[in-house]
Amino acid sequence: MKNKLFHIITGMFIASFFCGCENSDAEDSQLEQIPAVLSGKAYTFDPDAEGEIWKAGKFVGMYMLKENTSECVAPYQNVQYQTTVEPLGYFTPTVKEDVLYYPQDGSKVDIIAYYPWKEDLRDNRYPLNVGNQAAAANFSFLYAGNGKGVSKDNNRVTFELRPVLSEVVFKLIAGDGVTDQYLEESVITVAGMNTKADFNLVSGQFEAVTEVKDISFVALEDANGASGQVFPAVMDDSHVASIRLPKMNREYQWNLTEEISELKPGMRYTCSVTVGLNKIEVVTDEEPIGDWGNGSNNEVAGSENLIGTLIEDLPLGTMVYGLNDPLGKMEEGTWFYTRNNATPDESLLKSVVERDETIGHNVIHTTYIGKGSWFTYYMGYRMKNAKRTKYRITLKVKGTDGKNLRCFIQNANGTDLNTAVFVASDKTGSGGYNGFRQVNLKDTYQVQTLDFDFSKMVKDPFGHTADESREATDKALADFYIGFGYNSVANLNFYIAEISMTELK
């Protein structure tokens, strides 16, 4: 044997994926198919920074192009790959038959990767919307175009997946006659910013940049000020920041062109704003984005979305029904619906994946009818292995106008504190209960944020306050689910989209 046979497959054969890529002496080299060996790291835009290895279970899109062109090599267009458990950091096709093979004539190609994978792309454009800075799902997009000039004779690619947006940070500093207390609860918006665009995955450029609006930035967690991720752009006189300080009863205006001529992809612009009684002074530093923190085994961490199965990627149709005990039947990463009944009864409760053209992708539509408690009739998502820390669930939701939707997070083993739930960070309900968070629904989509403290638990969702909590157990953290249900049952509907769960730093 002058070489080893290389197979790129998933599951039980994944170990053989990385052994090599060659044939035996007896085989005709003209007939061999050489697969691309693909791995990836998430990089900052600092050329000296070391990339972070991808966690397993993430879906990445792949394109193969003829070298230095925008022409796709059939059939390798938006092929779904996934990250592997072992060895960590490599990508394999989700469907074994969708392997990317190099041209047999030895011609060179370019391979492009992006994250997260999206099925319903139009003309290879990935839609992005930065109008709502609170929607974490809008800012997970990463792109790698460094797989240039590879072939069957040079078949390994390590993708450098990087952010394509720019970030602007305003940090407020107390000046003469001002104390930090007066800078609290600031509201910062920037006018003249485009909020929608398509990212052309083949060319690596933004296109169809539209909808100029004022963008409200999100408050910083560890300082006075706010930050926002926006499209790269050349600055002009329309790009004006408004800094409102309610505790000083003042509002200041500042034109970004005074310090910034252009917002470049993957760069952070930190505006240090010294606030005096009657004026502000701004000094801006430009640096590569560097928010990817070190996780275990040097994995990608940061504000990564822990919801591994995105709603927009779910197949159309009725979801999995959990029967009377969804906990023992649902695999990790499964969306399901259930009620206190041994058999499905769609006349009482039903969850269906539908496409919502108003937001351009799939949503979960739950119809809630009949009799039962909101925490026994619900739709949910099965998860595992949380930390003893605080998490934030961000989602886009609409439903029957004026009705309330409740969210609770319950341990899934049933023997650990019975039906104990993690403590909601804010009290909800007339009794000030800490077992759930409640949002008031509108008939149009609203973005909601729900915080939970995974270090503490109460006995059940209803009727217990934080004073009655106890420390979260290892069993509960290892296996749990997120549940959504109404506080009453009477022919109601709700729709959930664009959900994320991130660790609060």
Distance CA 310, CA 59 (A): 10
DSSP state of 474: H
* Average pLDDT of span 288-305: 44
Distance CA 94, CA 308 (A): 14
Is the pLDDT confidence value at 9 over 50? no
Is the pLDDT confidence value at 15 over 80? no
By the 10 Å C-beta count (0-12 exposed, 13-18 middle, 19+ buried), 209 is classed as: middle
Q: Which of 32-46, 73-87, 95-109, 220-234 is the least confident region?
A: 32-46
Give the tens place of pLDDT for each residue, 57-90: 788 999 999 999 999 999 999 999 998 866 777 8
pTM over 0.85: no
With tokens 């999995």, the residue in question is 320
Distance CA 52, CA 115 (A): 14
What local confidence, expressed as pLDDT, does residue 282 receive?
96
What local confidence, expressed as pLDDT, does residue 76 receive?
95
pLDDT band at 324 (very low <50, low <70, confident <90, very high): low
CA proximity to 421, closest of 409, 431, 433: 409
Instruction: Yes or no: say if 364 and 496 are a contact pair by the CB < 8 Å rule.
Output: yes
Which of 96-117 are b and which e, b meaning 16 or more Cβ less than 10 Å from the residue's Cβ? Answer: eeebbbbeeeeebbbbbbbbbb
Give the tens place of pLDDT for each residue, 426-472: 555 545 677 888 888 899 998 888 888 898 888 777 767 777 888 88
Instruction: Yes or no: say if 89 and 60 are a contact pair by the CB < 8 Å rule.
Output: no
Which residues face 251 on adjacent strands?
244
Distance CA 370, CA 345 (A): 10
* CB within 8 Å of 353: residues ≥ 6 apart: 311, 314, 315, 316, 317, 318, 319, 362, 363, 364, 365
Instruction: Return the number of other C-beta atoms located less than 10 Å from residue 461's C-beta.
Output: 27
Instruction: Yes or no: say if 284 and 184 are a contact pair by the CB < 8 Å rule.
Output: no
Instruction: Yes or no: say if 292 and 302 are a contact pair by the CB < 8 Å rule.
Output: yes
Distance CA 258, CA 241 (A): 11
- For residue 394, the SS3 value is strand
Distance CA 349, CA 489 (A): 10
What is the CA 280 to chain-centroid distance, rounded?
A: 35
Tokens of 377: 């009739």
**Amino acid identity of 45?**
F
Instruction: Return the number of other C-beta atoms located less than 10 Å from residue 316's C-beta.
Output: 9
